[in-house]
Structure 1
Amino acid sequence: EDSAKNGKVTSAGMYFLGFPVYRLDQTMNSIAAAKDPDTSFFKKLDGFQPCELTELKAGTHTFAVYGDNFFKSANYTIEVLCAAPFSEEKENLRNVEAQILSKRAEISKFESEYREVLAQFTEMTSRYAHEMQTIDELLKQRNEIHATYTVVPLKRSNSSKGRSKTSSKESKEDGEAREKRSTRERPRKKKWYNLHLRVDKRKAC
């Protein structure tokens, strides 16, 4: 497997177990996590890839270790373990890695289902907010219509005053016209000098 930082040292392992083993690359998951948490979850096992297979045959083998610090010599330790005493651990590792591969395929299928349901949920949430706003607007319009039955608008009040003033003025003018008409219809009194008086000359006044 590739070397990885482990505390203050860098370590790498080589496994000769007689069956394929896998390594987990966290780089892909880190890039996905920076974009979207959901994507990070679904891509978490994408870095689970098989290691390079090399058959270890009987004989003499040479292992080389190199350091990337050109100003200082590399200090290293090589640890060699025989896998024979760890037969149970070998089977457990093999079973677990098989389950991880199965889970990776299952998660890939689950992602498409999750995205579909998430899109429906987002649509329903948007519709919920829209319907709530529509209901509030309808109730507001209803309250405004009810208010017109109890509250007289200011403009109507002014127009009614104007109409009352106009009607009172018209009634006043009508009354004056009637008074003039009644005055005209009264019989005129004859002036006293228009009366024809007869005086009997035989009788003394």
Structure 2
Amino acid sequence: MGLLYFDQEESGGLSLALQEDSAKTGKVTSAGMYFLCFPVYRLDHTVNSIAAAKDADAAFFKKLDGFQPCEISELKAGNHVFGVYGDNFFKSASYSIEALCAAPFMEEKANLRAVEAEILGKRVEISKFETEYREVLTQFTEMTSRYAQEMQAIDELLRQRNEIHASYTIAPMKRSSSKSRNKGPFRETREDAQVRDKKPSMRDRPKKKKWFNIHLKVDKRKPC
């Protein structure tokens, strides 16, 4: 539902001047218009809902974009036309329109004017902050990507280091096993070389038989 205010034209017709959508407060749904003889503002939530559908961050930065001044800030003496519209065509609804004089609410008027001025200032701050936020967000995205790349590079270097450390324990075992396989033939060859190179000593030389000077006569004419 919503509250409508109409201007009376010279021709006698009506033209829509203000429209305020309702919001649920407690158990009832209400909409209000304030004519306080100074600019008051209304918040259009449709602008924020459209931004939220596109980007969650944009929903925050565009939250105050719908904070716009009302076209009419005071009512002249005379007759005025208000109306109520509903968005449910299948169910009837009851409503009531209440008009209050603002004179007894002087403190509330001052507070409303002050807080709306702060909201306008905050809207300017948020606009500047959005520019800074987008720049930092871009840097953060780049740093996050670099973080992942650097972490991957460190893991790869540590993996290579571990493989090199492992080669010190695996490679000597292979070399020692190959040496053990060649140890037997190598020893035999070495022993053969030592035998060949070893010169016979005096003890190892064969003893010559000694012959005594015995003269034997042999008759060559007689056959043996």
Shorter-normalised TM-score: what interval? 0.5 to 0.7
Q: Which structure has more strand as a fraction of its residues? A: 2
Q: Give the secondary-structure state (helix, strand or coil) at the position aligned to 2:34.
A: coil
**Aligned match of 1:9:** 28
Using structure 2 for the length normalisation, give the TM-score: 0.63
Q: Which residue type is aligned with residue 13 of structure 1?
A: G
Q: How does 1:56-205 map to 2 (within 5 A)?
A: 56-124=75-143, 127=146, 153-175=172-194, 177=196, 198-200=215-217
CA distance in 1, matches of 2:94, 2:55: 40
Q: Which residue type is aligned with residue 17 of structure 1?
A: L
Residue identity (%): 69
Report if the CA contact (8 A) 1:66-1:74 is conserved: no
Q: Which structure has more helix as a fraction of its residues? A: 1
Matched length: 193
Task: Show CA shifts across 1:135-191 (max 9, x none).
Answer: 666567667666766776221112222342332132244356568x96xxx77979x
Instruction: Supply the RMSD in Å over aligned alpha carbons.
Output: 4.0
Unpaired stretches in structure 1, ≥5 consecutive residues: none
Unpaired stretches in structure 2, ≥5 consecutive residues: 1-19, 219-224
Structure 1 residue 55, shift from structure 2 partner = 5.2
Using structure 1 for the length normalisation, give the TM-score: 0.68
Q: Give the secondary-structure state (helix, strand or coil) at the position aligned to 2:105.
A: helix
Structure 1 residue 123, shift from structure 2 partner = 4.2
- The 1:137/1:72 distance shift into structure 2, 3 A limit, reads closer
Structure 1 residue 41, shift from structure 2 partner = 3.1
CA distance in 1, matches of 2:165, 2:88: 85
Structure 1 residue 80, shift from structure 2 partner = 0.7
Structure 1 residue 59, shift from structure 2 partner = 1.5
Larger RCO, structure (CA 8 Å, separation 6 or more): 2
**Aligned match of 2:39:** 20
Structure 1 residue 82, shift from structure 2 partner = 0.7
Report if the CA contact (8 A) 2:36-2:73 is conserved: no
Q: Give the secondary-structure state (helix, strand or coil) at the position aligned to 1:64.
A: strand
Q: Does 1:53 align with 2:53?
A: no
- The 1:149/1:100 distance shift into structure 2, 3 A limit, reads same
Structure 1 residue 64, shift from structure 2 partner = 2.6
Structure 1 residue 127, shift from structure 2 partner = 4.7
Task: Show CA shifts across 1:74-100 (max 9, x none).
Answer: 311111101122223222211211110
Report if the CA contact (8 A) 2:37-2:73 is conserved: no
Structure 1 residue 37, shift from structure 2 partner = 5.1
Report if the CA contact (8 A) 2:48-2:66 is conserved: yes
Q: Give the secondary-structure state (helix, strand or coil) at the position aligned to 2:97.
A: coil
- The 1:62/1:40 distance shift into structure 2, 3 A limit, reads closer
Structure 1 residue 102, shift from structure 2 partner = 1.0
Residues 7-16 or 73-82, more deviating: 7-16
Report if the CA contact (8 A) 2:34-2:73 is conserved: no
